[in-house]
Structure 1
Amino acid sequence: MAVPPTPEIAEVPGAAPPASAAAGQDSVRAALDKAFAEATADPDGPGVQAVAIRGGRLIWSANARRAINEPPAPVTGSTLFSLASFGKSILATYALHLAEKGVLALDRPISAHVGTEVPGSRVVTLRMPLTHTAGYPDLYTDPATAPLLPGGAQYDPDRPYTFAMLAPGIHEPVNPGARFEYSNTGFIILAEVLTRVSRGERALERDLRHFYQRTGERGDQLTAVRSPSAYARFAHGHIPGGDGTLTDYFTAFGATGIPTDVYGLPFGDGMFAGTAYGAARFLDALFTGKRLLRPATLTAMTTPSPQAVAAGFAYGMATVRTEVANRTWQGHGGAYGGFTSMGATDLTRGVTLMVVDNRLSPDGNAMATWGELARAYAAATS
Structure 2
Amino acid sequence: MLQTTEFALLHRLATEQAGSRAPSLVAGVVRRGELVWHGARGTVDGREPTADTQYRIGSITKTFIGVLVMRLRDEGKLDLNDPLDAHLPGTAFGSATVAQLLAHTSGLTSESPGLWWERTPGGDWDALNASLAQGATVLRPGAHFHYSNVGFGVLGELVARLRGADWFSVLDAEVLRPLGMTRTTPDRVAPAADGWAVHPYADVLLPEPTPDAGAMAPAGQLWSTATDLARWVAFIGGDTGEVLHPDTVAEMRAPAHVDDADAWTAGYGLGLQTLRTGGRRLAGHGGSMPGFLATAFADPATGTGALCLANSTAGVGLGALTTDLIDLVERHEPELPAPWRPLAEVDPALLAATGRWHWGPTPYTLHLLRDRWLELVPVAGRGRASRFRPAGADRWTGLDGYYAGETLVLHRDADGTPSHLDLATFSFTRDPYGTPEAIPGGVAAPGWRPA
Mark yes or no: TM-score above 0.5: yes
Alignment partners' CA distance in 2, 1:95 and 1:139: 21
Question: What per-residue deviation string (whole Å, max 9, x for no partner) do you get for residues 186-207 of structure 1?
Answer: 1111111112122242xx3222
1:349 to 287, 294, 302: 302
2:99 to 115, 120, 127: 127
The residue identity in structure 1 corresponding to 2:307 is M
Q: Which runs of 5+ in 1 are unaligned?
A: 1-23, 251-257
User: Structure 1 352/148 Cα, relative in aligned 2: closer, same or farther at 3 Å?
Assistant: closer
Query: Is contact 2:236–2:284 with CA below 8 Å preserved after alignment?
Result: no
The residue identity in structure 2 corresponding to 1:136 is L
Per the TM alignment, residue 213 of structure 1 is displaced from its structure 2 partner at its CA by 3.8
**TM-score, normalised via structure 2 length:** 0.66
**TM-score, normalised via structure 1 length:** 0.77
Alignment partners' CA distance in 2, 1:352 and 1:83: 17
Question: What per-residue deviation string (whole Å, max 9, x for no partner) do you get for residues 162-210 of structure 1?
Answer: 2233334424423111211111111111111112122242xx3222112
Q: Does 1:234 align with 2:234?
A: no
Query: Is contact 1:265–1:271 with CA below 8 Å preserved after alignment?
Result: no
Q: Which has the higher helix share?
A: 1
The 3-state SS of whatever aligns with 2:296 is: strand
Alignment partners' CA distance in 2, 1:43 and 1:308: 29
Per the TM alignment, residue 368 of structure 1 is displaced from its structure 2 partner at its CA by 3.6
Partner of 2:427: none
Q: Does 1:57 align with 2:34?
A: yes
Question: What per-residue deviation string (whole Å, max 9, x for no partner) do you get for residues 225-253 of structure 1?
Answer: 32xxx343221111234443422114xxx
1:248 to 195, 207, 210: 207
Q: Does 1:93 align with 2:67?
A: yes
The 3-state SS of whatever aligns with 2:252 is: helix
2:76 to 92, 102, 106: 102
Question: What per-residue deviation string (whole Å, max 9, x for no partner) do you get for residues 258-287 of structure 1?
Answer: 5223xx754211132100221120120232
Q: Does 1:111 align with 2:74?
A: no
Alignment of 1:100-249 (within 5 A): 100-116=74-90, 118-121=91-94, 123-140=95-112, 142=113, 145-146=114-115, 150=119, 155=120, 159=121, 161-170=123-132, 171-173=135-137, 174-201=139-166, 204-213=167-176, 216-220=179-183, 222-223=184-185, 225-226=186-187, 230-244=188-202, 245-249=204-208
The 3-state SS of whatever aligns with 1:304 is: coil
Number of residue pairs matched?
326
The 3-state SS of whatever aligns with 1:331 is: strand
User: Structure 1 44/300 Cα, relative in aligned 2: closer, same or farther at 3 Å?
Assistant: closer
Q: Which runs of 5+ in 2 are unaligned?
A: 335-451
Per the TM alignment, residue 30 of structure 1 is displaced from its structure 2 partner at its CA by 3.2
Alignment partners' CA distance in 1, 2:5 and 2:280: 15
The residue identity in structure 2 corresponding to 1:259 is P
Q: Which has the higher strand share?
A: 2
The residue identity in structure 2 corresponding to 1:359 is S
The 3-state SS of whatever aligns with 2:11 is: helix
Question: What per-residue deviation string (whole Å, max 9, x for no partner) do you get for residues 131-178 of structure 1?
Answer: 0001011334x3xx226663xxxx4xxx56322333344244231112
User: Structure 1 379/296 Cα, relative in aligned 2: closer, same or farther at 3 Å?
Assistant: closer
Q: Which structure is higher in RCO with an 8 Å CA cutoff and minimum separation 6? A: 1
Alignment partners' CA distance in 1, 2:237 and 2:115: 37
Per the TM alignment, residue 86 of structure 1 is displaced from its structure 2 partner at its CA by 1.4
Kindly report the root-mean-square deviation, in angstroms, between the aligned alpha carbons of the 2 structures.
Answer: 2.5
Alignment of 1:287-326 (within 5 A): 287-291=237-241, 292-305=243-256, 307-308=257-258, 313-326=266-279
Partner of 1:380: 332
